[in-house]
């Protein structure tokens, strides 16, 4: 091949190569931009999908009611609907043990970030009173701070509330909680949940716990003693909550607390619940499956409202952008002390998170509970769209 022709071919290859590379890069950028756009849109779309699903469930509930009314008036048999309306009666709630010999209280002091200090130990009466007897004024002040935008941490219901049918056991609507002891957001959110639940009943016992070492090692509350080092995972159900107004159904996935975040699949959880064999809990889990919007823990249903994820992000006085979190370096005593005399953003955020839960439950109870009379609770109901 003549030298100048070879040179022309080389230049041609080089030009076509650069053009192809440029085309590839442009294509790559477009694909990445589309992926990023799709990802950003997903949360919005999923929120809207949740609302649609909520409406769908409401329509099915109404159809079911209409069918029932028709059956009563005409004597024709009830038609089956795809949605099960849970109205269980004469049901026994599970009684968890007060201690687990295989998962004892750890008494030695361990360093922040890698501690099991006091895990599974019950709160003493003074500590329990901080949760059970928190003054209404704290909830009101925090609610006002939420409404006037003076909280630094995130508090809210994410992409929106999802409206579902009530899960009623023994004549009372229920709060259903599905979480994991290893999960950081479950850990920080249980404080707000406990405060909220104290407005509708009392805890006879609560226990000290942590999120997993790999997920913040946050001091938290456990609803019952947990199987905190079970390598094969387990479902720990039940709690020591008493209320004349509501039921509290707690489904906690447990995995070794010394590892990172871990979660069994819903299929595994379901089969473990079948073995435990408690009807309200099996049905509560089926209710979650039927609602079909679970996408991680914590997942809570407050009466007729689903809140996917935590309703507050509270790791300290401001939301940090990465680890370590201020809450990781706090003890249970310090958290309880803050809750007993709130003076910083951390404590007010916990109360505001509790207020959001209270508002959803109040809307489900037609504002019949005493806590529902707080002006801030009414304001939050209206803000988040929770209507009686």
Partner 1 sequence: MITYIKRLPRAFKKIYSPKYIVFNVIAAIAYYFVITYFIKAQNYGIILILVPKYLFYLVIASASIMLTTGIYTTINSLHKKGNAAITSLGTVASLFTGLILGCGCGAPALFAITAIGASLIEASAFASTLVNYSMPILAGVVVLNILLVLYYAGKVSMLKRR
Instruction: Return residues touching partner 1 (CB under 8 A).
Output: 10, 13-14, 17-18, 20-21, 24, 28, 32, 35-36, 39-40, 42-43, 46, 154, 180, 183-186, 214-215, 260-268, 270, 289, 292, 294-298, 308-310, 313, 315, 319-323
Which is nearer to partner 1, 127 or 253 (by Cβ)?
253
For the four alpha carbons of 252, 255, 256 and 257, in that order, the dihedral sign comes to: negative
Which is nearer to partner 1, 40 or 69 (by Cβ)?
40
The whole-angstrom separation of Cα 87 and Cα 179 is: 24
The whole-angstrom separation of Cα 283 and Cα 300 is: 15
Which is nearer to partner 1, 17 or 135 (by Cβ)?
17
The whole-angstrom separation of Cα 189 and Cα 220 is: 8
Which is nearer to partner 1, 89 or 322 (by Cβ)?
322
Closest approach, Cβ 89 to partner 1, in A, equals 28
Closest approach, Cβ 360 to partner 1, in A, equals 19
The whole-angstrom separation of Cα 215 and Cα 68 is: 48
- Dmax over CA atoms of the chain, in Å, equals 99
Backbone angles phi, psi at 313, to 5 degrees: -110, 100
Closest approach, Cβ 113 to partner 1, in A, equals 13
Which is nearer to partner 1, 11 or 70 (by Cβ)?
11
Closest approach, Cβ 38 to partner 1, in A, equals 9
Please, which residues have CB within 8 angstroms of residue 119's CB and are 6 or more apart in sequence? Answer: 105, 106, 208, 209, 210, 226, 228, 257
Residue 312's CB is within 10 A of a number of other CB atoms, namely 25
With CA atoms as reference, report the closest residue to 312 among 198, 202, 187. 187
Closest approach, Cβ 158 to partner 1, in A, equals 9
Closest approach, Cβ 289 to partner 1, in A, equals 6
Closest approach, Cβ 40 to partner 1, in A, equals 8
With CA atoms as reference, report the closest residue to 220 among 319, 352, 103, 310. 310
Which is nearer to partner 1, 279 or 319 (by Cβ)?
319
Which is nearer to partner 1, 52 or 69 (by Cβ)?
52
């Amino acid at each position: 091949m003549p030298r100048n022709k070879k040179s022309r071919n080389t230049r041609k290859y080089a030009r076509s190569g650069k053009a192809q590379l440029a085309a590839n890069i442009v294509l790559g950028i477009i694909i990445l931009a589309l992926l990023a756009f799709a990802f950003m849109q997903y949360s919005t779309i999923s929120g809207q999908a949740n609302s649609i699903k909520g409406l769908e469930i409401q329509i099915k509930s109404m159809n079911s009611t209409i069918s029932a009314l028709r059956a009563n008036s005409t004597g024709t048999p009830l038609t089956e609907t795809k949605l099960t309306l849970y109205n269980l009666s004469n049901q026994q709630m599970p009684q968890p043990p007060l201690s687990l010999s295989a998962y004892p209280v750890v008494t030695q002091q361990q360093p922040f970030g890698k501690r099991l200090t006091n895990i599974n130990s019950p709160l003493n009466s003074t500590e329990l009173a901080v949760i059970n007897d928190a003054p209404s004024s704290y909830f009101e002040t925090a609610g006002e701070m939420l409404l006037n935008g003076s909280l630094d941490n995130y508090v809210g219901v994410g992409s929106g509330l999802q409206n579902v049918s009530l899960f009623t056991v023994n004549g009372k609507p229920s709060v259903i909680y599905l979480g994991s002891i290893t999960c950081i957001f479950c850990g920080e959110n249980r404080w707000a949940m406990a405060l909220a639940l104290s407005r509708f009943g009392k805890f006879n016992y609560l226990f000290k716990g942590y999120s997993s070492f790999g997920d913040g090692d946050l001091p938290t509350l456990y609803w019952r003693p947990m199987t905190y080092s079970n390598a094969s995972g387990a479902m720990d159900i039940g709690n020591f909550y008493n209320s004349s107004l509501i039921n509290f159904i707690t489904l906690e996935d447990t995995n070794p607390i010394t590892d990172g975040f871990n979660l069994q699949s819903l299929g595994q959880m379901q089969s473990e619940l079948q073995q435990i064999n408690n009807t309200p809990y099996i049905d509560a889990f089926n209710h979650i499956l039927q609602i079909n919007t679970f996408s991680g823990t914590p997942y809570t249903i407050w009466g007729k409202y689903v809140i996917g994820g935590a309703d507050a992000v509270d790791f300290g006085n401001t939301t940090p952008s990465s680890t370590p979190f201020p809450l990781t370096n706090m003890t249970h005593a310090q958290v309880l002390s803050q809750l007993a005399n709130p003076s910083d953003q951390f404590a007010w955020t916990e109360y505001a998170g509790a207020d959001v839960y209270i508002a959803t439950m109040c809307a489900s109870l037609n504002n019949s509970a005493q806590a529902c009379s707080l002006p801030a609770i009414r304001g939050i109901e209206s803000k988040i769209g929770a209507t009686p």
